[in-house]
Amino acid sequence: MALRATKQALRKEIKRRLNALSDEEKQRQSVVVSQKLFRHPEYVKCRRIAVFLSMNDEVRTEEVINNIFRCGKSCFIPRYDSSSSHMDMLKLNSLQDMKTLPLTSWNIQQPAEDDSSREDALDTGGLDLILMPGLGFDQSGKRLGRGKGFYDSYLKRCIKHPKGKPYTIALAFKEQLCQYIPVDDNDMLIDDVLYEDDK
């Protein structure tokens, strides 16, 4: 149980750092991170991409979603099942489509439970790239989520898909970077973390 306590303490510390950021600063860093993403070779070559709809303490993804449609890529967004750690990535058909999505109790938009008309990424061609949310990240690809395990269990399902595991990129504020994140066997590593650095 020590691992859980360590993670909880770290979540609290990162939330404290994020709460101290102004909306302007979050927006500024989001632009920097988005520009880095648009130049990333995995983003440039991917056709099918999953992206999270950002909450207030996450890098803003509106500009990323705009870019996905501008580049003619297929955009998939999460639908979380709040009673379990199950998540599906369902196709977002257009920017207009996004405006009609219902809000969940977590105040994030997602396709409705009874919306069966959308293409499910894993039922069709799988995914090339997943943009990963999270609370904290370290340089070696370890990620601290919110404790529900949605993305870890989804990546395990992707591995079983004929296409295999998609490339994973985390979008982060620099305040979310940690020296070290404690993980266990269920925690999946991510391939790359994009944040504003001095480069």
Q: Can you point out the beta strands (E) in 54-181?
A: 74-80, 87-92, 129-132, 136-137, 143-144, 167-171
18 is in an annotated binding site: no
146 is in an annotated binding site: yes
Q: Parallel, antiparallel, or unpaired: how do β-strands 48-50 and 167-171 relate?
A: unpaired
28 is in an annotated binding site: no
144 is in an annotated binding site: yes
147 is in an annotated binding site: yes
125 is in an annotated binding site: no
3 is in an annotated binding site: no
Walk across the sheet containing 87-92 and list its strands: 87-92, 74-80, 48-50, 129-132, 167-171, 192-194
Within 46-111, residue ranges assigned H as helices are: 62-70, 95-99
151 is in an annotated binding site: yes
9 is in an annotated binding site: yes
58 is in an annotated binding site: yes
Known binding residues for ATP are 7-11, 143-151
Known binding residues for substrate are 53, 58
Known binding residues are 7-11, 53, 58, 143-151
